[in-house]
């Protein structure tokens, strides 16, 4: 069925790209596979996203919103009386304990920036945004170090298939944040 007026088509294409990467990985992403998944003509994908990098940038931006929304929903990062390390460890546990496929997808797109320079600004923006939020509770250098620890813990859990250890994460985050063990 032809859709002459389809204001949601661009979003459906992004959603389809995320599903394709989730099912087939980055290697399975093509304009053709996304068009089929979104049930749109092939020309629609290239109209909205001239290159696969453009499509991957949009998908990574959308995927990054998941962690940012979780962070915003908790709200405790703005409370100076909250134990920052414990809050971050809990946040990480909630994120990793939720939609595992979504977390894996986000990291697959995030790590695709190693080979696709167009994705690097989006990956950097995610880290910069998180560091800026954390800098409200600590100094900028410590905030960036906390982001690196969060990334490292996530990668260890995802790549080694080890269960998330919140106590370990809290201990490491406490050390980096300048607290005692």
HEC assignment per residue over the chain: CCCCCCCCHHHHHHHHHHHHHHHHCHHHCCHHHHHHHHCCCHHHHHHHCCCHHHHHHHHHHHHHHHHHHHHHHHCHHHCCCCCHHHHHHHHHHHHHHCCHHHHHHHHHHHHHHHCCHHHHHHHHHHHHHHHHHHHCCCCHHHHHHHHHHHHHHHHHHHHHCCCCCHHHHHHHHHHHHCCCC
Identify the band that residue 181 occupies on the pLDDT scale cut at 50, 70 and 90: very low
**pLDDT at 74 > cutoff 90:** no
Identify the band that residue 102 occupies on the pLDDT scale cut at 50, 70 and 90: confident
Tally the domains of the chain: 2
Residues 140 and 95 in one domain: yes
pTM of the entire predicted model = 0.81
CATH of the domain at 31: 1.10.10.60
Average pLDDT, the chain: 88
Residues 43 and 68 in one domain: no
Residues 100-106 have a mean pLDDT of: 82
Residues 20 and 104 in one domain: no
């Amino acid at each position: 069925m032809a859709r002459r007026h389809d204001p949601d088509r661009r979003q459906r294409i992004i959603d389809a790209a995320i599903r394709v990467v989730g099912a087939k990985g980055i290697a399975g992403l093509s304009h053709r596979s996304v068009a089929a998944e979104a049930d749109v003509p092939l020309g629609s994908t290239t109209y909205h996203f001239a290159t696969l990098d453009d499509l991957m940038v949009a998908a990574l931006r959308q995927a990054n919103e998941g962690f940012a929304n979780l962070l915003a929903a908790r709200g405790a990062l703005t409370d100076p009386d909250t134990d920052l390390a414990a809050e971050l460890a809990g946040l990480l546990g909630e994120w990793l304990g939720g939609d595992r496929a979504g977390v894996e997808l986000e990291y697959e797109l995030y790590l695709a920036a190693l080979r696709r320079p167009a994705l690097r600004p989006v990956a950097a923006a995610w880290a910069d945004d998180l560091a800026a939020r954390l800098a409200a509770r600590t100094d900028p250098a410590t905030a960036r170090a906390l982001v690196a620890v969060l990334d490292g813990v996530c990668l260890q859990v995802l790549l080694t298939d080890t269960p998330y250890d919140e106590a370990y994460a809290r201990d490491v985050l406490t050390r980096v944040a300048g607290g005692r063990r």
